Amino acid sequence: MLTYFLLFAAFVLVAIRFFKLLRLKRRNLSNAEIDQHLHVLLNEKRDRP
Amino acid sequence: MRKRIGVQFRKTRKTAHTFERIQGCKRCHTYHVLWDTHCKNCGRAYTPIRQLSTTVARRHVQTRFLLLGLFVCLAILAADTVLQLALAFGIGALLFTLFFVIQKRLGSYEKDAQFIRFLTSERETIKQSLVHHLEDIGADVKAERIKDAYEKTREIGHFIESDTIKIRKIMFLNHYVLRKDMELELDTLIPKTYDKDFMEYLREVIKVQPWLVKKAVLDYVKRYKAQILLLENGEQLIGQVAGAALRMKTYIEQYQDLIIEFIDYLPRERLLRLAKMVSTNRHEGWDRLYEAVKQRVDTHYAFDPDFKGVL
Amino acid sequence: MIISSYQKSLWVRNALLVLCSIAVVAVLVKVGLCYKKVNLYKQAQAYYSSHDLIKAEELFAKADDITVLSYGDEQWNSLMHGLTATRQELESIQLQARSAISENQDAQVLETYELYQNMRKNNKQPGEQTAFFEQLSSHLGIEKEWADYYHRALQEAKDQSKENLTQQSYENETFIRTLVTIPDEYFGGAKQKQSELADLFQQYEKTKLRNLTASAPFDEVVARTAKSLRMYREIGVKADWLFTGLERFAQSEINLSIRQKDLSAFISQSIAYRKIEDVLPRDSAVLAAITRHLESRVKQAEQYIQSRQFSKAIELYQELNALMDTGALITTAEESWLVYDPTRLLEVKYPDKKFRSVRSGTARWGAQVYAFGLEESEQRLYFAAKKEDDSVAYLEVGLENVDMKSAKISISDKLGEKDAPLIMIEAAGKERPVSFTGLLPALSENVIHKRFSIEADEFSIIDSTHILIKNAVGKGEQEFASFVLDETGLVYDQKIAHIEETTTPEESGENDYPPDLPPVSQTEQNGQKPYQIAVYGGPGEEYEKIGQISSDSSIQVVTDMNGWYQIQLNGKEGWIRAPQPAP
């Protein structure tokens, strides 16, 4: 019984991974977006004089 | 006017993206955006941040894989009968295969997401590293290493969108003689508000690299025309900016008013170029401009042989 | 300090790597074990098919020990489990048997043997179980171990019995029990065992009995044989022949004692034989003979009593007390003797004292029987009486002023009451020729009252209260006076006459003595020729004459009574008439 349960858990792991990666593929991030994000991250607070 | 020094600035690295400038020290957990290749603290070579992120992403995948492996092994260990054992092995192998296939097909998409996540998580550290750089710049300024200060500030300026940085750069730059062969910046120095030093810099830059004048500069000049006119030789400056704008037809069209207003301050070569352009492109609503040019030419350059027959 | 994702990812990955490695190793181990188990299982099945059940079970057990996997056909597995249980049980029995055999613990060896036989019985149905059982037991060689042990035990037992007989030492008879515990099969069957053991024991015991009767005393023979009988009974072996032998021996010995009239021997033999009553049957001839002879001896004692040979009877009873409780009989004999010879009261109580002038009788002073006598050296009169309630009272009174040598005792038939007369003591007086003392025993008060003590020339009892006294000392001197006997004593009453002349005490002595005073008897005979005196069985001529003695022979007087002396004659008691003074 435990075997089946663990196998199921492993399958769930793989499935989650698959759907996560699929979602990322749909999102299709580009380097420009990354750059933009970095820009936003670093410039959110003006903390330098 | 202060005495300007001649200098050769270090060439700035050209990267497609800003993040490519960030390097990290694996051991010290600090970041570096300048040109050093090795960490000053531990001597270890810097790794590009993208590479760091890729490593993390790879480890993440490995972790997932090992977790899967653990579950499958536990399933095998928990198997009581041969059937269960075979099932565990079979399904385990299947799952491994699936995992590999998924990874191969869709793995690359994870890298970018992982990178963003990485950047987000490293944000404070990056910021701290930039602050550290600023401190270094402060020391350089104190030690009157203006060149180094400018170069470092220039690098930092890629990351931080701040008038302070821009003005600092301008002030550093104003220490130096600008030459045609120097790698100069203009658009990246445009402050949000009117700045006298920027105008000074602009005056110098136009002399050597007029092609740097682009829309942003033209808009700035247009916006702060009144303040510029208060400057000494302000009209000449605007005239030079307008003259630089004559490089592109779109600029002529967009900034007709500015050109017409300061047509008197255009340099001779620029006027000549303009006259040639208006005579060929008269039809496109350039009437006013044509008239203004004609008037200028007729009043001041009637006897100039270069201007004869243009309009 | 913020731990970078870089570091964190490294740690997490490494931790999982370690865990996963361990898991992989465990999986490899499990796979290895599973492979091993399947192999063993298949081998076990192969052996099973070729009917080598032992090997099959062995391999199956090894495979079964690997618990990481359940494998195989349920039915076949449960069958093999059954075989494993059988093997384990057999091995444990063998282990127990081996340790018991090595320590020579017969009981444990037998226990394990029986366990094994039980198992064997349970494995009788045709099938794999039985086949396995048989294969395994022959493989382990269990039965051989028992066979070896028991054959050795049998031989040792036989040797032991031979040795016992040769050495004539019978302390170590453990071989008997050992032989009984050896299972039937090693004799060739139950019947064979019974008959062989019966022969062996019979031969052993008979020889032993023969040897014992030749060398050992009676009680040892009896005790040892009884011990053997008990043992045989305990171990369930019929040993009637031993009993018969014992009876025969005992009968002959006891008969010999009876014939030889050796009562003490008879008694000790009877005691020894009765001790073993628990092993004897109810119809034991010897016991009956003992009882019979005992009864005859009791009858003999009764005859002694009837012939008044009380001491013989009592002696006999006392001897017989070892065999039966003769206390009551002795008491009865003593009572009869007392009735017959009340002077025994004094003899028994005061064996060291020598009494003179002993009188005895019955039914006086509230006593069933009484006796009294004078103890000369102590100047006392001792009185002993058995009262109505069968208790015995001993009284005594001092006779300080009485001349014991000349004292004579009598019982007054006038003075006192009919059932309680006065005891009169007449002796030579100091101031007068005669002194008279009157004593009255009061058993209820446990005292002898001295009623009066007077010296006078003569003493004449008129009636129960009046006494005529001549020349009494004190009041009544020189006169015939009448005295009254009252509670206080003798009281002067009145003068009857005056004494005119003095008379010699010798002349007046004989005629004026109160009639109830017997004539003085001389204790010695002077100047007479020796003659034969008849000795009787009792103090009277009506008794059997048992002998005679010469009058001048020295005799040992035990006591005297009513004019008869009891003497010892050749160790026997006899009575002679008291010698009379020459007229």
Write the pLDDT tens digit of every residue in B270-283.
Answer: 888 888 888 887 77
The full set of domain ranges for chain C reads 165-320, 341-511, 532-577
Strand C408-416 versus strand C421-428 pairing type: antiparallel
pLDDT at residue number B41: 86
Do C and A share at least 3 CB pairs under 8 Å? Answer: no
Give the Cα separation of C141 and B1 in Å (integer): 123
- Is the Cβ–Cβ distance between A10 and B72 less than 8 Å? yes
Does residue B133 sit in the same domain as residue B18?
Answer: yes
Give the domain extent around B13: 5-142
Asked if residue B180 belongs to a domain, the reply is no
Fold of the CATH domain C532-577? SH3 type barrels. (2.30.30)
Give the Cα separation of C415 and C423 in Å (integer): 9
Count the neighbouring beta carbons within 10 Å of the beta carbon of residue C266: 24
Asked if residue B273 belongs to a domain, the reply is yes
Q: How close, in Å, is residue B287 to chain A by CA atoms?
A: 42
DSSP annotation string for C98-142: HHHHHTT-HHHHHHHHHHHHHHHHHT-SSSHHHHHHHHHHHHHTH
pLDDT at residue number C187: 85
Best of B23, B26, B31, B56 to substitute, by most chain C Cβ atoms within 10 angstroms, is B56
Strands (E), B144-244: 176-177
- In chain B, the number of structural domains is 2
Task: Report the chain A residue with the minimal C-alpha distance to residue B21.
Answer: A35
- Is the Cβ–Cβ distance between C450 and C500 less than 8 Å? no
Residue B245 pLDDT > 60: yes
Chain-centroid distance, C-alpha C210: 29
**Token representation of residue C309:** 């040979």
Q: How far is CA C475 from CA B75, C283, C422, C480, in A?
A: 147, 84, 22, 11
Count the neighbouring beta carbons within 10 Å of the beta carbon of residue C490: 21
pLDDT < 70: residue spans in chain C? 1-3, 501-530, 552-562, 569-571, 579-583
Residue B45 pLDDT > 60: yes
| Interface size between A and B, measured as CB pairs under 8 A | 122
Neighbours of chain C (3+ CB pairs under 8 A): B
Task: Report the chain B residue with the minimal C-alpha distance to residue A23.
Answer: B109
Does residue B201 sit in the same domain as residue B287?
Answer: yes
Q: Which residue has the tokens 């699936």?
A: B98
Count the neighbouring beta carbons within 10 Å of the beta carbon of residue C416: 22
Give the Cα separation of C385 and C368 in Å (integer): 7
Asked if residue B147 belongs to a domain, the reply is no
| Sign of torsion over alpha carbons C553, C558, C560, C566 | negative
Q: How far is CA B24 from CA B122, B267, C138, in A?
A: 10, 50, 81
Can you give the C-alpha Rg of chain C in angstroms? 51
Q: What are phi and psi of C451, to 5 degrees?
A: -75, -40
Task: Report the chain C residue with the minimal C-alpha distance to residue B122.
Answer: C4
Strand B5-6 versus strand B176-177 pairing type: parallel
pLDDT at residue number C1: 47
Q: What is the pLDDT of residues B174-212, one digit of tens each?
A: 888 888 888 888 998 999 999 999 999 999 999 899 889
pLDDT at residue number C579: 67
Q: What is the pLDDT of residues C519-534, one digit of tens each?
A: 444 444 445 566 777 8
**Token representation of residue B68:** 């899967």
What ipTM does the predicted assembly reach?
Answer: 0.86
pLDDT at residue number C487: 84
Q: Say if the Cβ atoms of B85 and C34 lie within 8 Å.
A: yes
Asked if residue B222 belongs to a domain, the reply is yes
Looking at every residue in chain B, the average pLDDT score rounds to 88
The full set of domain ranges for chain A reads 2-43
Best of A28, A41, A43 to substitute, by most chain B Cβ atoms within 10 angstroms, is A41
Give the Cα separation of C131 and B127 in Å (integer): 87
Asked if residue B87 belongs to a domain, the reply is yes
Task: Report the chain C residue with the minimal C-alpha distance to residue B67.
Answer: C16
pLDDT at residue number C581: 55
Give the Cα separation of C435 and C427 in Å (integer): 5
Does residue B218 sit in the same domain as residue B279?
Answer: yes
Asked if residue B170 belongs to a domain, the reply is no
pLDDT at residue number C170: 84
Q: Which helix (H) or strand (E) holds C285?
A: helix C285-306
